[in-house]
Amino acid sequence: MKRKSFEDMECPIARTLERVGEWWSILILRDAVRGSTRFDEFERNLGISPNILSRRLATLVENGFLEKRLYSVTPPRMEYLLTERGKAFRSVLFALTAFGNDHFADDGVALQVVNKRTGRPAKLVVVDARTGKPATGPNFELAPGPAASNAIRGKFGA
């Protein structure tokens, strides 16, 4: 059962899901944020098969989340470093972390976002920087942007 490609959709959510690639890719990015760079680190930490890992890394490189760099010439060995785009994806990872801890951590919090200076867990909220107000309140909604097609306008318009 192959999922349909979202490639040609306009929606930024669908586009991001398409570019990231797969569930595994999100966990690869999580480990990259934590400092993993080498194939065998990802393989060991994720318990993922080398074939799948190799494909997921290639997609993440192709779509600009990671860049490949030679760190040893003999033998030739590559490492995978987060690009600016990969680093920016922390906003999605952190939103997932907060949601997972709020909803699926009845047995306690195993992983959280922490302020390195104070050592305190962050209380993560998505806000509108224009006002500082939480964007998950009732005043915010998904709406067509300036480049929306008629299809998007029909579906998401007021």
The Cα–Cα gap between 9 and 16 comes to: 11
Task: Rank residues 73 and 120 by Cβ distance to a second copy and give the closer one.
Answer: 120
Task: Rank residues 31 and 79 by Cβ distance to a second copy and give the closer one.
Answer: 31
Task: Rank residues 69 and 95 by Cβ distance to a second copy and give the closer one.
Answer: 95
Residues 59 and 73: beta-carbon distance below 8 Å: no
Q: How many beta carbons lie within 10 A of that of residue 11, not counting itself?
A: 15
The Cα–Cα gap between 90 and 70 comes to: 25
The Cα–Cα gap between 47 and 81 comes to: 20
Least Cβ distance, residue 115 to a second copy (angstroms): 6
Amino acid sitting at position 16 = T
Least Cβ distance, residue 31 to a second copy (angstroms): 8
Task: Rank residues 72 and 150 by Cβ distance to a second copy and give the closer one.
Answer: 150
Least Cβ distance, residue 118 to a second copy (angstroms): 8
Least Cβ distance, residue 23 to a second copy (angstroms): 5
Residues 6+ apart with CB under 8 A from 153: 144
Beta-bridge mates of residue 66: 82
